[in-house]
Structure 1
């Protein structure tokens, strides 16, 4: 009986047979416990309908104002595009481009590429550039930050509620709905779309030669597992033509360089003001910690804690955790490696949430645009903080957790095929070796 397609764990490189699982179940790695793949109860048509609905909600969220503010007879209708345009006009070009990409363009492109891929798979015929679209989707997925933007909207509204009469706009409700939709659609990754195409017989499924002495590698862009020549570290994926490496090249120097650079940039991000408030009586500058104190004084201690965690605790945690992973990379033992894998998963999960304060500053520029009465202008600290987020995310992407597992008795080689553990409750079930 022919075995199913082969899938490699992204965190430890253990090879598994992709077996059918029940709806709403997950298949986990028998070695490190990482989620290999899921099976949703939503059909292909259901995903298409959800993406179309998300695009409509996205248009509503960006067309209509998030909030309507009145101050001394003047009215401002604040929206995300208006906030980006004001930041651009104020001369903060890098900040406007950075936040515009993370909050508007990349989420929009993510939705459009997912819809395009789903429709192509449903039609039963993939376009010639499908592989390039999926490679792009795989690259932009971690940078889509609408959930972080939504939390930033809430913080900005609380900060400005005591300065002007505030009414909630349709855009806020649309962003709330969009956050839940994009959270669900984040499960439709490029790897999952390739598996849909495999099951439909539209692309070649991975069935490498696993006989003794043969070496295989997995493509990070599409998940394809293929044979490579012994001693070869880089080649082209046979399916998506992406440049693939058996292990990420030069991870030590890359990660340390990014960690050191982020640590240096983190200093001005905290010292320099992230925004300046201009009023009829003068001008005041606000740092990240100053904003936390202001929220606390306004009585919003819960939001103050959230901002403090996202803007201070999370960046420091990422930097310290990456340092721990790099310093202790030679420690051996399956238990130690599982703990290191869990730590790396934490870094991946919290990666984008540090952008919270940057989004808050951008949104406040639109809410406080009352010339001659009150204006908020982004400060140099906001751009510095944005670069810290980008650098730490690149550092996490450059780290290769598989290298720690290479010192264990298993490796990404022939004869290591496993049957994944399946569970409907999200718990890791004990696995078994396939004979």
Structure 2
């Protein structure tokens, strides 16, 4: 390739040439180690087939019950749509809305938009709204939480096994398969599809026609282009998205989200996340109470998972982001690389804190025995869900490139197997 496309690392702003790599290899930034792109062994046709299979499994997961629960001669068929319905009826609209978006609307949209985009690249005919569709795909992929829901289902079933007779059903296995499929499909990002379109000659090549040394990469499509001097941002020449050289007021916005999350963290842990109604009375459970209950049931492994996801992770995210924005004496490439690693960790574990919210929602469907036992989401569940969302917005607002703003130059990316 005489003039390979250019790519800018989104975490440190280092400029690289996008050179061909072997199937299964990963190209990483030479400065911060962030994964720039990979060459999948699976063709676009293979990814499209996986999309269709995922859509079919998604339908199975939501149409069939996840478990059959029997108690005192009564039987309930628990399913995720039924859990959403009961949560909405109980008046917990915020919890129902969060769950409906993150584990139904967004995953479904991710599959459909991905199918549409792959088909467009395969046919070598990009529709006029291709750029808008890929922007939507990036958003939906980031907020899709099917793997978290599947783990929440397993935790819920362990908790219910002590109260009633429980039999796993078709929906549970479908959600398990879907979790693995969507994890695989997340590798086909919007930037990966822009690269494929570049290689097919369907869109302008990144870095083509540069006239100055003052350049930037579009955050939506990765297109490297000239950036007007003394201008904070511009409209992308390729996808028409407006982007900034650096995120405007990134620390201020991240601090605002962190402060709101820290405030809500206290009611999220002090107020009950669920209330259990039984003939002998009413019991309320907090997040830590649920961890203790799992431990007492002998499920120490699940208790540890819930404790890490619901207590350690959100608190760690708040503390790590606060440290990244306040500690000023971290200097040098090695320390900056560690800062980038911490930020990547925060991004990676962000959505897993939603585990307890999904556990409560699904328990409401499994324990729907009026007169015997009913579980209703509490105020703590809504507060905790908002904590997770706010910390994710804080991570998205933070700009890790600010610590690297010196000495970037054109280098070829390193390559390793993966």
TM-score interval, normalised by the smaller of the two chains: over 0.9
Q: How does 1:406-417 map to 2 (within 5 A)?
A: 406=405, 408-410=406-408, 416-417=409-410
Map of 1:364 onto structure 2: 363
- Is residue 391 from structure 1 mapped to residue 384 from structure 2 by the alignment? no
Map of 1:175 onto structure 2: 175
* 2-structure distance, mates of 1:220, 1:167: 47
Question: How far has the Cα of 1:134 moved from its partner?
Answer: 0.6
* 1-structure distance, mates of 2:195, 2:227: 22
State TM-score, norm by structure 2. Answer: 0.98
Question: How far has the Cα of 1:152 moved from its partner?
Answer: 0.3
Checking the alignment, whether the CA contact within 8 Å between 1:107 and 1:144 is kept in structure 2 is: yes
Q: How does 1:111-150 map to 2 (within 5 A)?
A: 111-150=111-150
Which string of whole-angstrom CA distances, capped at 9 and with x for unpartnered residues, describes residues 361-415 of structure 1?
A: 0000000000111100000000000000000000000000001000x322xxxxx
SS of the residue corresponding to residue 226 of structure 1 reads: strand
- Cα root mean square deviation, aligned: 1.1
* 1-structure distance, mates of 2:321, 2:275: 33
SS of the residue corresponding to residue 19 of structure 1 reads: coil
Map of 1:186 onto structure 2: 186
Map of 1:61 onto structure 2: 61
- Is residue 242 from structure 1 mapped to residue 235 from structure 2 by the alignment? no
Map of 1:422 onto structure 2: 415
Map of 1:165 onto structure 2: 165
Where does the alignment leave 5 or more consecutive residues of structure 1 unmatched? 411-415, 426-435
* 1-structure distance, mates of 2:359, 2:320: 26
Which string of whole-angstrom CA distances, capped at 9 and with x for unpartnered residues, describes residues 138-180 of structure 1?
A: 1221110001011100000000011011011100001111111
Map of 2:379 onto structure 1: 380
SS of the residue corresponding to residue 355 of structure 1 reads: helix
Map of 1:207 onto structure 2: 207
SS of the residue corresponding to residue 82 of structure 1 reads: helix
SS of the residue corresponding to residue 241 of structure 1 reads: coil
- Is residue 273 from structure 1 mapped to residue 272 from structure 2 by the alignment? yes
Map of 1:341 onto structure 2: 340
Map of 2:255 onto structure 1: 256
Map of 1:13 onto structure 2: 13
* 2-structure distance, mates of 1:182, 1:91: 31
Checking the alignment, whether the CA contact within 8 Å between 2:207 and 2:223 is kept in structure 1 is: no
* 2-structure distance, mates of 1:329, 1:185: 38
Checking the alignment, whether the CA contact within 8 Å between 1:214 and 1:230 is kept in structure 2 is: no
Q: How many residues align?
A: 418
Question: How far has the Cα of 1:209 moved from its partner?
Answer: 5.2
* 2-structure distance, mates of 1:205, 1:359: 43
Which string of whole-angstrom CA distances, capped at 9 and with x for unpartnered residues, describes residues 48-107 of structure 1?
A: 000100100010011100100011111100011000010001111111011110011100
Checking the alignment, whether the CA contact within 8 Å between 1:44 and 1:122 is kept in structure 2 is: yes
Question: How far has the Cα of 1:210 moved from its partner?
Answer: 5.5
Moved more, 200-209 or 16-25: 200-209
SS of the residue corresponding to residue 69 of structure 1 reads: strand
* 1-structure distance, mates of 2:328, 2:218: 23
Question: Which runs of structure 1 show a deviation greater than 6 angstroms over 4 or more consecutive aligned residues?
Answer: none
Checking the alignment, whether the CA contact within 8 Å between 1:208 and 1:216 is kept in structure 2 is: no
Where does the alignment leave 5 or more consecutive residues of structure 2 unmatched? none
* 2-structure distance, mates of 1:210, 1:18: 16
Question: How far has the Cα of 1:332 moved from its partner?
Answer: 2.0
SS of the residue corresponding to residue 124 of structure 1 reads: coil
Checking the alignment, whether the CA contact within 8 Å between 2:270 and 2:380 is kept in structure 1 is: yes
SS of the residue corresponding to residue 350 of structure 1 reads: helix
Question: How far has the Cα of 1:108 moved from its partner?
Answer: 0.4
Question: How far has the Cα of 1:2 moved from its partner?
Answer: 3.1
Which string of whole-angstrom CA distances, capped at 9 and with x for unpartnered residues, describes residues 103-153 of structure 1?
A: 111000000000000111111101111111111111221110001011100
* 1-structure distance, mates of 2:310, 2:271: 14
- Is residue 353 from structure 1 mapped to residue 346 from structure 2 by the alignment? no
Which string of whole-angstrom CA distances, capped at 9 and with x for unpartnered residues, describes residues 188-220 of structure 1?
A: 011111111111111111124566x52111111
Q: How does 1:322-333 map to 2 (within 5 A)?
A: 322-329=321-328, 331-333=330-332
* 1-structure distance, mates of 2:44, 2:400: 33
Map of 2:295 onto structure 1: 296
State TM-score, norm by structure 1. Answer: 0.94
Question: How far has the Cα of 1:221 moved from its partner?
Answer: 1.2
